[in-house]
Structure 1
Amino acid sequence: MKPRLFSTLGILRHENPLGLPRSGAPPTMPRMQRGLPEKRSIRDVRKVIAVSSAKGGVGKSTISVNLALAFAQKGLRAGVLDTDIFGPSIPTLLNLSGEPRLSSNNQLIPLSNYGLKSMSMGYLISESSPVVWRGLMVMRALQQLLHEVDWGGLDILVLDLPPGTGDVQLTITQQIKLDGSIIISTPQALSVKDSVKGINMFKKVDVPILGMVQNMSLFQCSNCGHEEHVFGTDGVKRTCEELGIKFLGDVPLHPRICADADVGKPTVVAEPDSTRAGRFREIADEVATLIDL
């Protein structure tokens, strides 16, 4: 089976995946500009927030989707943009697939589920196909995801950033007008130390830090009720106190959150009356207040 391609906007050609001319000569590089580019708004979007972690495996994408769905349940027109080009998670989390259609003005039309609009590189390539691109191609794809999607009017767009503090994060924070950022970390010292790098990155590029979320904070045995702090205790809370950052809340380590994500029906939708779903809604309420939404 041939992989589906980002052919709708010409990001690459199947027979020439690195965008090289037929002669094999290197592609023409854009002229370098001095200084930082002017930050732009995302068209038809009132508020944009970035959800970030400097370390992978802390549940950032799961929290991004549940927060976006919590915004939608508040009656807001909400969307989520998966900016992880190499490892997109949003299609799985929202149980969506298929290549997006184009609007009359040649913009990608987001895919929707549970009242939430979404866009991801995962909709534009086949699930089993790796994205084997160099930096220039990645940046071109990112620019199209940021500026060539027809959101149709949103109150809030959640950007699910890839782990780390590399090119994608810097491009977004330097070029997009962000209303704030949320840092996700487990209580573990190793995770918290990496999250501080993400905090410092946002400070350097003048992006407001709305606060931190402590994920996988507490495990409670479903049989005996015993509570266990698997990844340590209150590491994120202590960091917030030390750095003067708002602590947005805890999300427990619960097997249902993982199971809900795996079947593409996030906890806020699958178990809306559960305590854990309530945690996501509380964080969403706090964020909405902080950005005047």
Structure 2
Amino acid sequence: MSYRSIKATAFILTILLTGPVSWAGGLCNKCKGTGCCEEMVTETCTVMKTVTETCYREEQQVKVIQVPKVIQVEKLVPYEYTAWVRVKKEDPQEIEIKTPKFRWVDQEYTINVPGKDTVTKIRKRTELVPTIKYCTVSEDHGCWETKMVATETCGGCLCCEKRVWCPNIVQVTKETTVMEKVCVEEPYTCEVAICVPIKKTRRVKEYFTKTEKKVIKNPYWTLEPRKRTKMVTACVPETVYEEKTEICTVKVPYKIEKQVPCTVTRQVPKECPCACQG
């Protein structure tokens, strides 16, 4: 079967499957009845691109610079100083004049008269009081036992019976009575010598001071600082600039062009089966 026969058969089957409605307007707009159409697809490729690069080269240049230099120059400059001037002043001073005086007043005073008083005091004494205490002692609760003991005689060895004490030490707690010292306080009454205060009154002189204020002026001389200005010759530092030539190395930029690979994306046509043949 040829290609045209296969294409015609596919065309007839498409009409029968899709119906007359879809083919009422004629052939497919994409493939025009050929069954193949073109679509734009994305493709990545590498191309060479020209770029500009900045490079630097070293060059020797002559540079003139200004070098500062400090020199001393004699000039007349104002000089401010402090002079002490003799000035007359008055010092107003307020003084107090005190005059002694007296007046008669009643004075109350206290005298102490000896007397006696009965007081109760407490004294301490020590007594021995029996106290029961418990202590731990060691007792021997052993016993006598009869044992066979070998003794040496002139004729040889002879065994005989002998009573031997077998000790048995036991710790026993016993009750004992000891006499302990106890401090006891007891009150007692006694007479003591005291001083009884008695108040009395008498006439005495009371001295006081009468104060009066008065202002007096005391003239005096003093030294006060005053600002003075005079012209003096002084060496003043002054800055001057001298030209100096020096050789320096600088970097001069320049541009070059070169080809570099670059990855780009573009749209390319590609044949594929049309959707009308599905």
* TM-score with structure 2 setting the length: 0.12
Q: Which has the higher contact order (CA 8 A, sep 6+)?
A: 2
Q: Would you tell me which structure has more strand in proportion to its own residues?
A: 2
* TM-score with structure 1 setting the length: 0.11
Q: Would you tell me which structure has more helix in proportion to its own residues?
A: 1
